[in-house]
Homo-oligomer: A and B are copies of this chain.
Amino acid sequence: MADQVYEATCTAPVNIAVVKYWGKRDTTLILPTNSSLSVTLSQDDLRSLTSARCITAAGQGSGEDRLWLNGHEEEINPDGRTHRCLAELRHLRKALESRDASLPKLTAYPLHIASENNFPTAAGLASSASGLAALIATISQLYSLTPQNGISISDLSRIARQGSGSACRSMFGGYVAWEMGQKEDGSDSVAVEVAPASHWPDLHALILVVSDKKKGTPSTAGMQRTVATSDLLQHRIDKVVPARMQRISQAILDRDFDQFAVETMADSNQFHAVCLDTQPPIFYLNDVSRAVIQLVTELNRASVDDAGRGYVAAYTYDAGPNAVLYIREPDVDRVLRLVEHYFPQSASSSSAIPTDIPAGFNAQVIPQHPLGSVARIIHTKVGDGPRVLESAQHGLLDPQSGLPKSVVASAA
Identify which of B270, B279, B297, B366 contacts A280 (C-beta below 8 A): B297
The smallest beta-carbon distance between A275 and chain B, in angstroms, is 8
Q: How far is the CA of A293 from the CA of B275 in the complex (A)?
A: 14
Q: Do A272 and B276 form a contact, CB below 8 Å, given A231-B239, A232-B232, A287-B287?
A: yes
Report the nearest B residue to A234, measured CB to CB. Answer: B235
A side interface size, CB within 8 A: 31
Whether B281 and A293, one on each chain, are in contact in the complex, defined by CB atoms closer than 8 angstroms, is yes
Q: How far is the CA of A278 from the CA of B283 in the complex (A)?
A: 17
Whether A232 and B286, one on each chain, are in contact in the complex, defined by CB atoms closer than 8 angstroms, is no
A334 on the interface (CB 8 Å rule)? no
Return chain B residues, CB-CB under 8 Å to A278.
269
A105 on the interface (CB 8 Å rule)? no
Q: How far is the CA of A262 from the CA of B278 in the complex (A)?
A: 12
**Chain A window 331-364, contacts with chain B (Cβ cutoff 8 Å), 1 for yes, 0 for no:** 0000000000000000000000000000000000
Return chain B residues, CB-CB under 8 Å to A251.
none
A376 on the interface (CB 8 Å rule)? no
The smallest beta-carbon distance between A34 and chain B, in angstroms, is 13
The smallest beta-carbon distance between A265 and chain B, in angstroms, is 7
A367 on the interface (CB 8 Å rule)? yes
Identify which of B231, B266, B281, B286 contacts A287 (C-beta below 8 A): B286
A277 on the interface (CB 8 Å rule)? yes
Q: How far is the CA of A283 from the CA of B214 in the complex (A)?
A: 20
Whether A269 and B277, one on each chain, are in contact in the complex, defined by CB atoms closer than 8 angstroms, is yes
The smallest beta-carbon distance between A251 and chain B, in angstroms, is 16
Return chain B residues, CB-CB under 8 Å to A367.
213
Report the nearest B residue to A274, measured CB to CB. Answer: B273
User: Which A residues, 257 to 298, have Cβ-Cβ distances below 8 Å to chain B?
Assistant: 262, 265-266, 269-270, 272-274, 276-281, 283, 286-287, 290, 293, 297
Return chain B residues, CB-CB under 8 Å to A236.
231-232
A151 on the interface (CB 8 Å rule)? no
The smallest beta-carbon distance between A225 and chain B, in angstroms, is 12
User: Which A residues, 168 to 191, have Cβ-Cβ distances below 8 Å to chain B?
Assistant: none
Q: How far is the CA of A283 from the CA of B292 in the complex (A)?
A: 12
5 residue pairs from A and B, CB less than 8 Å apart: A231-B239, A231-B240, A232-B235, A269-B278, A283-B290
Known contacts A231-B240, A232-B236, A269-B279; 14 additional CB pairs below 8 A are A213-B367, A231-B270, A232-B232, A232-B240, A232-B270, A235-B239, A265-B279, A269-B277, A269-B278, A270-B276, A276-B276, A280-B297, A283-B293, A286-B287
Return chain B residues, CB-CB under 8 Å to A276.
269-270, 272-273, 276
The smallest beta-carbon distance between A278 and chain B, in angstroms, is 8
Return chain B residues, CB-CB under 8 Å to A287.
286-287
Report the nearest B residue to A266, measured CB to CB. Answer: B279
Return chain B residues, CB-CB under 8 Å to A273.
232, 273-274, 276-277
Q: How far is the CA of A367 from the CA of B281 in the complex (A)?
A: 19
Identify which of B231, B235, B301 contacts A231 (C-beta below 8 A): B235
